[in-house]
Chains A and B, each alone.
Chain A
Amino acid sequence: MKLKKFSRLINPQSIALVVVLLVNWALFPGFFNVTWQDGRLFGSLIDVLNRGVPVAILAIGMSAVIATKGVDLSVGAVMAISGAVAATLVTDGYPAYVAVLAALAIGIVCGVWNGILVAFLEIQPIIATLVLMVAGRGIAQLITAGSIVTFSDPLLIFIGTGSFAGLPMPVVIAIVLLVLSVFLVRSSAVGLFIESVGVNRAAASLAGIRSGLLLVAVYGFSGFCAAVSGLIVAGDIKGADANNAGLWLELDAILAVVIGGTSLLGGRFSIAMSVLGAIIIQAMNTGILVSGFPPEFNLVVKAGVIILIFTMQSPLATRFIESRKNARALARKAS
C-alpha cells in the first residue's frame, strides 16, 4: 500500500520538476539557498513559488473549465479588469475591503457571462471566451483611462507583497485556494458532475445533472480565480497596468493544466497537478533568469522543455515504459 502511494508520486510531472530544478541548480549553484530576511524567506526557490502563483491560481479555475471540455481564454483580461477596478476604487477613496470585494465580484460576473454564453447560448467555449479576452482588456483600459493607476493602500499591497508565516502572501493565498477547491470537488460529488458534463453533456443532463447551472458555476469560479490573480499582480507592482496585467497568461494557464495531465477533451482533471504544472513553468522562467542566458534563448529553452514533458506523457512513451516493465516482469518469472 505504502509502495503504491509512493509510486503515485513518480509521474512525468514530478520528474520534470525535479529535473528542471536540478538543471537550475547546475547553472546557478545558489539556487537552493533560502535565507531568512526581514521576517520572511528569501531565495530563488521562494521566487519560483511566488512568481508561479498568478498562473497557478488561473490554472485552478482553468482545470475545472477544461474538465467540462471547455476553455477560458478570458482569464488574462479578467485579471486586468479586477486589478483596474480595485486600483481605481482605492484611489477614489473607497476602503480597501470594498475594492477587493468589488474586484472579486467583477471577476465572478465576467465568468458568469462566459458561462451563460457557453451553457445557454451554446456558443463554443473558445469563441465565447474570446469575446471577453479581446473586449475585457479594452474594458480594463477604459477603467484606468489607459495609464497605470498606482496606489499606496496597505491592504492591496499586502495581498501582492506581504508575507504570512514567512511565506509570501500570494503563495499563502494560492495554497488556501488550492486546498479549498480540491476539498470542494473531491469531498462532494461536484468533481464527478464536472467530469460527467465534460464526457457527455447530454448524457449528464439525462442523468439528472443541471448541466447549464454547473457550467455557469464553473466559469464563474474561473472568473473568480482570475480576479484573485489580478489582485495579486496589481498588489505586487502597487499599480494596475491594464495594458500588460495578465497578458498572454491564459495560454500559460492552459499550458499548466495540460502539463498537469488534464486532457483538453474534458472528463478527467486534477487541480493539484495543474498547480504543479504552473510551478514547472515558473521554475523554467526563474531558471532562465538566474542562469545568465541571453534573452533570445528564453522561448527556445521553454519550448524544448515543454516538448520533452509532452513526449514523456504521450501514449507512445507510456506504452514503451509499460512494455519494458512487462518484459522485465516476464524475464524475472522465467529466471
Chain B
Amino acid sequence: MKFFTKLAVAAGVAALLSSAAYADSLKGKTIGFSQIGSESGWRAAETSVTKQQAEKRGINLKFADAQQKQENQIKAIRGFIAQGVDAILVAPVVSTGWDAVLGEAKDAKIPVILLDRGVDAPQDLYLTSVASDQVKEGKVAGDWLVKTVGDKKCNVVELQGTVGSTPAINRKKGFEEAIKGHDNIKIVRSQTGDFTRSKGKEVMEGFIKAEDGGKNICAMYAHNDDMAVGGIQAIKDAGLKPGKDVLVVSVDAVPDIFKAMMNNEANATVELTPNMAGPAFDALDAYWTSKKVPEKFIITESKLYTPNDDPKKVYEEKKGLGY
C-alpha cells in the first residue's frame, strides 16, 4: 500500500512539473530558502513543492525553517551569505525590518527573491517577488458564480476568513467586484468562520436556520476550503444537498475539497498555488542566462478547478504535498 502511495505521489510530482527540459544555468547552483515555518497545511505544501522544484532542476537547496521568528530568518539569511550561496529565497514572516539584511545580501551580490508575501523595503534590495493576487482569487470565484447562475436569482452566504486579515479582506473585495452589476446575485449573510472547519460548520448551521432552513440560500462562498468543508457538513446535516441545493465555491484548492468534488458536494475552488518557487527559479534562470531582470512582482495564476477537472487526479497529486 505504502508503495502505491509513493507511486501516486511520484506520478503527481511528475504531472506537476512540465515535461520541458530545464536550462542548465540552474544546475549545480546552491540556493538558500528561508521558510516561515509550518503553521498551515498550505505552508507545508509550499515547502515540499519548493524542494521538489529544486530537485527537478538540479539545484542544491539549503532549507531553513524560521519557526515564525524574524530573527531566525535574518540569521538564516546571514548564514546563506556567509556560505556564499548563489541566490536566496525568503518567505518573510513580517513585512518590516528587512533593509539591513537584504542590504548585506545585495553587497554580496546575491539575488534575493521574496515568496508569497511582500516587504516594506526599497525595491532595489530584492530581485523580484512571487505572490498570488488575493483580490483576483475572490474575483475568479465570483466570476464562476455569475457564469453558473446566469440570470437566476441567487442568494449567497459568505464565510469570511479571520476578521481584519488580508486574505479575508481581499477575497471579499474580489468576489464583490465580480458580482457587481449582477443584481440577481446578492450576498445575504456574511460572517467570519476564522478559516477553520469547525467555525465554518457552526456559522453555516446558523445561516441555514436564519434563511428558512437553507431554502433561501443558493450558494455558499467560503474564503478558504477548510471552512467550505465544514459548511458542506452543515448543509448535509440540514437535509440539503451541497453542490446541488446549495452551490459551493471556495478558495485555496487543498486536497480535501477535491474529495468533496469527487462526491459532487463542492462546485468550484480557486487555487492558491503552493508552487511559488517554480516561477522564482524561472526568473533566476532568465536572469542568469540572458541577464534579463524580471518584473518586481510576479503574480501566480489563480486557477479555477471544477468537478470537470478530474478532481480524483488532482487529489492524488496534492495529497502527498503535506497539506
Residues of A that sit less than 8 Å from B by CB: 28, 30, 37-38, 42-44, 47, 51, 141, 145-148, 150, 161, 233, 236-239, 241, 243-245, 247, 285-286, 288-292, 294-296, 298
User: Judging by beta carbons under 8 Å apart, are B209 and A290 in contact?
Assistant: yes
Inter-chain contact A243/B207, CB cutoff 8 Å:
no
The segment from B137-145, B193-201, B299-307 that touches chain A is B193-201
A150 and B192: CB pair below 8 A?
no
Within 8 A of A (CB), among B209-227: 209-210, 212, 226
Interface size on B, residues (CB 8 A): 35
> In the complex, A51 Cα to B203 Cα: how many Å?
10
Q: A146-B322, A150-B256 are in contact. List 5 more A-B contacts (CB 8 A).
A: A44-B209, A47-B209, A51-B205, A286-B206, A290-B207
CA distance A152 to B164 in the complex (A): 34
User: Are the CB atoms of A243 and B256 closer together than 8 Å?
Assistant: no
A295 and B189 alpha carbons, distance in the complex (Å): 10
Question: Complex formed: what's the CA distance from A187 to B28 in Å?
Answer: 75
Cβ A243 vs Cβ B40 within 8 A: yes
A286 to B: closest C-beta gap in Å: 6
| Neighbouring B residues of A233 by C-beta, 8 Å | 198
Chain B residues packing against A (C-beta within 8 Å): 38-41, 44, 160, 163, 189-192, 194, 196-198, 201-203, 205-207, 209-210, 212, 226, 229-230, 233, 237-239, 256, 259, 322-323
Using known A-B contacts A233-B198, A295-B191, A298-B192, determine if residue A146 contacts B205 with beta carbons closer than 8 Å.
no
Per the bound structure, the CA–CA distance linking A241 and B230 in Å amounts to 12
**Does B198 lie within 8 Å of A146, measured CB to CB?**
no
Q: Which of A44, A146, A150 is the one whose CB lies under 8 Å from B44?
A: A146
> Would you give 8 A-B contacts (Cβ < 8 Å), ordered by A?
A30-B210, A51-B205, A148-B256, A150-B259, A241-B196, A289-B203, A290-B210, A298-B192
A28 touches B192 (CB 8 A): no
Question: B207–A37 contact, CB under 8 A?
Answer: no
A145 partner, pick from B205, B237, B322, beta carbons under 8 A: B322
- Inter-chain CA distance A147–B226, complex, in Å, is 11
Does A236 lie within 8 Å of B209, measured CB to CB? no
- CB pair A292–B39 under 8 Å, yes or no, is no
Which residues of A lie under 8 Å from residue B39 when comparing CB positions? 243
CB distance from A151 to the nearest CB of B (A): 12
**A231 vs B198: C-alpha distance when bound (angstroms):** 13
A40 to chain B, nearest CB (A): 9
A238 touches B233 (CB 8 A): yes
Q: Is the CB of B189 within 8 A of A42?
A: no
- Which chain A residue lies CB-closest to B205? A47
B197 touches A289 (CB 8 A): no
Q: Is the CB of B201 within 8 A of A237?
A: yes
Q: A147 with B196: in contact, given A28-B210, A295-B163 (CB under 8 Å)?
A: no
Q: Which chain B residue shows the least CB distance to A31? A: B209
Most buried by B among A30, A233, A289, A294: A289
Asked if B41 contacts A44 (CB within 8 A), the reply is: no
Closest to B161 in A: A295
A229 to chain B, nearest CB (A): 12
Given the known A-B contacts A38-B239, A42-B238, A150-B256, are A236 and B201 also in contact in the complex, defined by CB atoms under 8 Å? yes
* Residues of chain A lying within 8 A (CB to CB) of residue B41: 146-148
Is B323 a contact of A295 with CB atoms below 8 Å? Answer: no
